[in-house]
């Protein structure tokens, strides 16, 4: 699995005048992997944070399988009680950490500006670096001037990735962006993210319960996610339709725009009362239950570097309606309904169509046919196609691909991990 041109670490190193024990200790140190991982934050319901935790969990599995691996995550803030994480305010404080000084591989998550990302410039020469690019929201989509300034700063800091020996991203969309920035194709790997929250990668059956058709949105409450577009579309749908429906909006207020959240709350208490329900900061079990109870997942986002919620929705048996922006057509792969980005009237029409389809199936007046980019599909055909798509996004596949990248970059320090653990 290692690069054929990379120098491998010998099993032992013998030097005259040294004991066998000293030589063995040096060989063990040479084969050990000491990971330092970085992110601005590590918090619940955040894709970058979940990416960091996936890598920490992978290191735990490698160690349990017999490899000499330790991993420490450095962040500015976390809401997890996790012994593997260290809160560090600045690069200067990071330099005092023995885990930083002893690391022989540094991994930097990046999707928005954070001071610790500048630590790429103080990693000792010859110590490998892997960058993980989650894409950057375009500044034009910012909710306010302060956020816009941070995003503009992020576009500048993004060039720190040029210091990395290799960069991992999660979509071909982001890979092409990195190549456009000057990275050579051989320095960029694509590893799709698995669903979070314990949601598996085998598609659940579509639900046919009684009651209203349920639409679900999961994400930050910011303008760029199109949540206000969704409310406008829902408001235009007749409440006295043939098939009743309801909308659930779920997200973390700590990662959201206060102004957008206030607008949503005003409408939930006003003209959309009884139709739209707000669920703030659900835990993993609550979020999984929301997916399991929903018929349709709606994500009218103006920008997505990947979009894990689409994968989670498909795995939960939800039909997906999405804008056709950025990576959404790629992650959806023709298995849902795409709407021209920003076209609220078209979004309303698409929602009305799927509500009618699910409602008719509820009452037994028509078999369920899902409108997708591959044509109208019956449930069996849709589930088979979704299963094939999800197979590439499983945590086992993520772990194996991440293992390969790490092993290639560090030239053999993971060779003792049993194949079954990859």
The verdict on 404 and 372 lying in the same domain is no
Predicted pLDDT at 3:
36
Q: State yes or no: pLDDT of 196 exceeds 70.
A: yes
Predicted pLDDT at 28:
46
Domain-embedded: residue 13: no
What confidence tens digit (pLDDT) does each residue in 84-120 have? 999 999 999 999 999 999 999 999 999 999 999 999 9
Domain-embedded: residue 15: no
Domain-embedded: residue 8: no
Domain-embedded: residue 313: yes
The verdict on 131 and 217 lying in the same domain is no
Token pair belonging to 361:
């199936």
The verdict on 180 and 225 lying in the same domain is no
The verdict on 145 and 240 lying in the same domain is no
Q: State yes or no: pLDDT of 30 exceeds 80.
A: no
Q: State yes or no: pLDDT of 405 exceeds 70.
A: yes
> How many structural domains are present in the chain?
2
Closest CA to 279 of 253, 309, 313: 253
- What CATH number corresponds to the domain at position 318? 3.40.50.2000
pLDDT, mean over the chain: 88
Query: If you average pLDDT over residues 284-300, what whole number do you get?
Result: 94
CA distance 87 to 283: 23
CA distance 306 to 308: 6
What confidence tens digit (pLDDT) does each residue in 172-186 have? 999 999 999 999 999
What confidence tens digit (pLDDT) does each residue in 312-331 have? 999 999 999 999 999 999 99
The verdict on 153 and 242 lying in the same domain is no
Q: State yes or no: pLDDT of 188 exceeds 80.
A: yes
- φ, ψ of residue 416 to 5 degrees: the values are -85, 0
CA distance 403 to 398: 8
Q: State yes or no: pLDDT of 127 exceeds 80.
A: yes
The verdict on 57 and 186 lying in the same domain is yes
Token pair belonging to 159:
């060039």
> Can you name the residues that pair with 280 across neighbouring β-strands?
251
What confidence tens digit (pLDDT) does each residue in 238-256 have? 865 678 999 999 999 988 9
Q: Which residues contact 150 (CB under 8 A, 6 or more apart)?
A: 112, 113, 142
What confidence tens digit (pLDDT) does each residue in 341-359 have? 999 999 999 999 999 999 9
The verdict on 184 and 275 lying in the same domain is no
* C-alpha pair distances (Å), 305 with each of 16, 170, 368, 412, 415: 54, 8, 31, 31, 32
Domain-embedded: residue 9: no
Q: Which residues contact 3 (CB under 8 A, 6 or more apart)?
A: 408, 411
- φ, ψ of residue 372 to 5 degrees: the values are -135, 175
Domain-embedded: residue 158: yes
Q: State yes or no: pLDDT of 139 exceeds 80.
A: yes
The verdict on 245 and 153 lying in the same domain is no
Closest CA to 360 of 262, 144, 213: 213
Q: 9: which DSSP letter?
A: P
The verdict on 377 and 399 lying in the same domain is no
Predicted pLDDT at 240:
55
Q: State yes or no: pLDDT of 6 exceeds 60.
A: no
The verdict on 83 and 28 lying in the same domain is yes
Stated pTM of the model: 0.87
The verdict on 370 and 265 lying in the same domain is yes
Q: How many CB atoms lie within 10 A of CB 340?
A: 12
Q: Whole domain around residue 345: which residue ranges?
A: 213-391
The verdict on 229 and 330 lying in the same domain is yes
Predicted pLDDT at 29:
53
Domain-embedded: residue 5: no
């Amino acid at each position: 699995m290692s690069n054929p041109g990379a120098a491998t670490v010998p099993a032992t190193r013998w030097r005259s005048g040294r004991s066998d024990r000293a030589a063995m200790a040096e060989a063990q140190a040479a084969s050990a992997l000491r990971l330092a991982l970085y992110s601005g934050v590590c918090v619940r319901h955040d894709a970058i944070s979940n990416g960091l935790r996936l890598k920490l969990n992978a290191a735990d599995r490698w160690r349990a399988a017999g490899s000499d691996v330790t991993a420490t995550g450095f962040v500015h803030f976390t809401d997890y009680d996790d012994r593997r994480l260290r809160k560090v305010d600045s690069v200067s404080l990071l330099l005092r950490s023995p885990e930083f000084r002893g690391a022989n591989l540094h991994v930097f998550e990046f999707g928005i500006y954070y001071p610790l990302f500048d630590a790429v410039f103080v990693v000792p020469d010859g110590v490998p670096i892997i960058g993980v690019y989650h894409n950057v929201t375009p500044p034009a989509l910012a909710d306010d001037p302060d956020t816009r300034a941070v995003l503009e700063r992020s576009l500048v800091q993004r060039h720190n990735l040029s210091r990395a020996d290799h960069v991992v991203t999660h979509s071909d969309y982001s890979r092409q962006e990195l190549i456009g920035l000057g990275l050579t194709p051989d320095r960029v790997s694509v590893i799709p993210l698995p669903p979070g929250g314990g949601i598996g990668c085998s598609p659940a059956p579509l639900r046919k319960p009684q009651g209203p058709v349920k639409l679900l949105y999961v994400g930050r409450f910011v303008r760029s996610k199109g949540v206000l577009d969704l409310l406008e579309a829902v408001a235009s749908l007749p409440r006295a339709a043939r098939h009743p429906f309801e909308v659930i909006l779920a997200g973390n207020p700590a990662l959201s725009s206060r102004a957008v959240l206030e607008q949503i709350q005003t409408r939930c208490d006003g003209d959309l009362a009884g139709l739209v329900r707000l669920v703030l900061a659900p835990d993993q079990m609550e979020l999984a239950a929301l997916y399991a109870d929903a018929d349709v997942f709606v994500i009218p986002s103006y920008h997505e570097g990947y979009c894990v919620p689409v994968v989670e929705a498909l795995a939960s048996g939800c039909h997906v309606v999405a804008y056709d922006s950025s990576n959404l057509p790629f992650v959806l792969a023709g298995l849902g309904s795409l709407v021209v980005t920003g076209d609220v009237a078209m979004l309303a029409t698409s929602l009305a169509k799927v509500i009618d389809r699910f409602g008719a199936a509820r009452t037994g007046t028509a078999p369920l046919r899902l409108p997708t980019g591959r044509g109208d599909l019956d449930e069996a055909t849709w589930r088979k196609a979704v299963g094939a798509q999800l197979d590439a996004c499983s945590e086992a596949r993520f772990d194996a691909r991440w293992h390969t990248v790490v092993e290639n970059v560090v030239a053999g320090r993971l060779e003792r991990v049993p194949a079954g653990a990859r």
